[in-house]
Amino acid sequence: MFEKIMERKIKQWDEEKNKPGCVPPPPVDNTFGKPIEQEYIETIEALIIKASKENEIEKKETILKQVKSIEMKLLISYENQGLHLIAQKMQKRVQEFRQKNL
């Protein structure tokens, strides 16, 4: 049923695009964005840098708690996908980044 609907829509578009004055719609931008894991990594790194610049110990600890929470989400995401080796490598990467910047 879905295929018939799509076929009809394609035929309808073919007829409309050949009419004079028809302007095709603009191309669709990438609607997917970055994978959530990439967002987590970028956020973790940004928060570690922010924590390194923070002078107040309480604020620094709060930021580092956020880092730990997001790091757990990242690792759980990889583990749930069965990507255990990548989870280990990401944990090591975050640890190295933390040591380098704190």
Q: Which 3 state secondary structure label does DSSP give 91?
A: helix
What is the distance between the alpha carbons of residues 39 and 33, in angstroms, rounded to a whole number?
A: 10
Total domains, the chain:
1
Q: Is residue 31 part of a domain?
A: no
In this predicted structure, what is the pLDDT of residue 41?
96
Residue 22 lies inside a defined structural domain of this protein: no
In a domain, 19, yes or no: no
Domain assignment of residue 12, yes or no: no
Long-range Cβ pairs for the range 67-72 (8 Å, 24+): 67/94, 67/98, 70/40, 70/43, 70/44, 71/40, 71/44
Per the structure, the complete domain to which residue 79 belongs is given by 37-101
What length does the chain have? 102
What pLDDT digit, counting tens, does each position of 28-56 carry? 666 677 889 999 999 999 999 999 999 99
pLDDT tens-digit series, residues 53-100: 999 999 999 999 999 999 999 999 999 999 999 999 999 999 999 999
Question: What pTM value is reported for the model?
Answer: 0.69
Average pLDDT, the chain: 88
**Number of C-alpha atoms within 13 angstroms, CB side, residue 74?**
25
Q: Tokens representing 99? A: 């040591």
